[in-house]
Structure 1
Amino acid sequence: MKKLIFLFSFLSVVSLFAQTDERSGFSNLLQAGTISVTIGGDFIVTGSFPAFVTERVDQFVSRLYKETSGKLLANINASYQLDELKKKIDDFSLRGITLKRSSGEIQTLDLQKFRVNGEFVNNPYLKNDDVIIFPDNDIERNFFTVEGAVNNPDKFFYVEGDDLQDALELARGINKAYENVKRVDIHRLSYDGQKMNVVMSDIDSVPLLQRGDRIVVVADETQRKEFNVIVLGEVNRPGVIPITKNNTSIKGVIEDAGGFTEMASLKKAKLFRGSSNIRFILEKEFGLDLEDLSEYLKGWPNPFLFEYEKNTMLRMSNLTEADTIFFLADEQIRQMTNEAS
C-alpha cells in the first residue's frame, strides 16, 4: 500500500511539474511576443508554427509560404523540375479559408478579396492556438470566370454564397475605359454539359452564382486606341503622328508633321502599308536610322536580311528569264521592296 501511495505521489509531483513547465513555456512565449498557430488543409506546409502576436493571417501565411517555398526550390536546378514544383507549391486557394479560435469561434476568410479591397474583416489578427484550414483547391470544378469589360478578367475559386458583386470585386471592378456598362450575361452550363442557359442581369444586381458560371460583362469594345502612323524623310517634324481609326487623311498627317521641307519630292514619296518588312526596307533601302522609333516598330518584325541578299545575288547571276529560279528570286524581291504605293 505504501508503494502505491508513493507511486501516486511521485506521478502527481511529475504531473504538477509538467503542467508548471507547460504554463511556464506558454508564459515565455507570450513574453517573447509569440503564439502558436496551426495550419491544416491544402497548403504548401501544415503543422503548428510560432507566430507573432502582431501578425495578421495574411502576413503569417505569406511568411510561411516564402520560407517554405524558398527551401523547397533552393536545390532544384533543372528548369522543368523547377516549373513543375512551382505549380505544386502555388496550388492552394486564398478563398474559403476557415479560421478556428480556441474559444470555439469559427470564421471564413477570403484573403484574395482582402488583397483587392484591403478590408481587415477577411484578415484578422492571430490569437494563440488559432487553427487555419485551407480548402481543397479543386478549381477545375469549383470555379467561376469573369470576362469582358473588367480590369482583371480571370478564373476564380468558387466559394458557397458567392454573388455577382463578389465576382466583379475579385475582377477589380469595371474597366473605366468602357462606357455605358450596364449588362452582365451569366453563362450557366447544365450538369451534364449539354445545355447552356444564359442569365442576363443588371450590373448592380446581386444574383447568387453557381459552380462553373462564366460571367461576361457586356460592353462595346472601345476604339480609343493608339492609332499611329510614322512619317519620315523630308518633313519638318518627322516621327510618330497620332491618327483616328480610319478617317485621317494623308494631308492631315503631313500638316501634323509640320509640312514638307524644300527638298521634298512628292513624285518619290512612298506609302507603306501592311508590310512585315517595313523596318528592313526603310533601313536597308533608304538608309534611315529608326533607333528612336524602335518602341513603335517592335510590332513589325525585323525582315530576313539573309533571304533578301541571297535572292539579290540570284537575280544578278547569269540566269535567263526562262529559269524558274530567276522568276522566284525576282518575285521575292518584288514583294520585299515594292510593297508601297
Structure 2
Amino acid sequence: MIKKGSRRNIRIFRRNGDTLWVDLDRFLNLGDLNANPYLEAGDVIYVPPRGDVVHIYGAVKIGARTAYELRPGETVADLIELAGGLREDALPEAELVRFKDDGITKERYTLDLNKILHSNPKDPFYLKPGDQIFIRHIPNWRPRAWVEVRGEVRKPGPYPIEDGVTTLSEVIKEAGGFTEHAFLKKATLERRQAQYVLPDPEFERLRQISSVMGGLEKMKPLEYDYLKTRSRENRNLLAVDFEKLFVQGDKSHDVVLRYGDLIYIPRKWETVTVSGQVEHPGMIPFVEGKDPDYYIRRAGGYTQRADKGNVQVIRARTQVWMRKGEVKSLEPGDTIFVPERSEHDWWGLIKDASAVAGQLATFIILARSIANM
C-alpha cells in the first residue's frame, strides 16, 4: 500500500451487497479484530486516498508516530486510545492547537485529561482536521522502581523498591526468605539497566579486532585471554557473596538495589557433570572434597580418544574454565570436560616432508652444478 493510501477507511465490498470497513491502525495498535475482518471469496477491497489527519505529540505509549488519519466523529479520547494511551509520566493537562479557516490563526485549548478519559462527558471534545494535541511529560519524573526475585525464595516475584536506597537483605526478607533448597553459593544479583553498568572499552576494542579476519592472530596472549574470559562472563553481575551476607552476617555485601535488578537464587545442585571423552558421560552424585579424577573414574574412565592432558573444569558459580590440575576439589554443579584428542594427518605430514626433501635435494644439486662451473 502506498503512503498516500488510507489506512483507516478501507472498504470491503461483498458479493451479497454488504460493505465492511477496515481500520488497520486500530487493528495494529490496539489489536481490535473487528477492525480487520476476514476475507471471503469474491470480496473486492477498495483503498481510497488518505483523508485528513490529526497529530498527537508527547507522553503517549506509541510516541514514534504522530500523524493519524481522522475518521468522522472521533474525539480527543479516541485519538489518545489509538496512540496506545497515556504514559505514566504524562501530565494530567494537555494542549490542543487548532487552526482557524484562514490556515494561519491558531486557537489553543487546555484539556483536562482526567475528565476526558475517565468520565463520560456529555459534550465530548470532537476533533477537526489538522488538530494538534500536545501531552507533556512530568518534569524530573522517575518510573516506579521495582526488582525481581526468582528461584528459591518463599515468595518469588516483583517487589517495589526505593531506587538506590532499598537493600538486598530488605527485599529477601520481604520475599519470605530462602527455601531449604536455596544454593547461596551460586546466587546472583544482575543489574539489567544498562545505564547503571559501566562500559568496558577494552573488551569492545578486542571484540572489534576479533571480528576482522586474522584479528585474533594480532592479539597478545594476555589480550586473547581477557577477551575469552570476558566473553564467558555476564558483565551485568554484581560481585555479591550471598553466603557471607546471609550466613556470616557480613553487611558489606548488603548492596543497595536499582530499578530492574534481578535477584536469582538457584536450587542446590547435588551432582557434578562429566562431559566429553569418558565411557559414561553424565551427572555423578556430588561427594564433598572429591577431586576431578574421582568423578572421571565414576564416569567409567577415559576413552581411547580422550585428551587427558587438556581436561577442563567449568565452575558452576563463575563459569570460569580451569585446568584439571588446578582444581583440588569440586563444588555441586561443576562440569568436567574431557576433550577429544586431535587426529594427526600422518599421510599429509609424510607428503609434505617428501615435498620439502625433494626441493632441498634439487637445491643441493643446483648448488653443486654452479660450483663446478
TM-score by length of 1: 0.37
Structure showing the higher helix proportion among its residues: 1
TM-score w.r.t. the length of structure 2 is 0.34
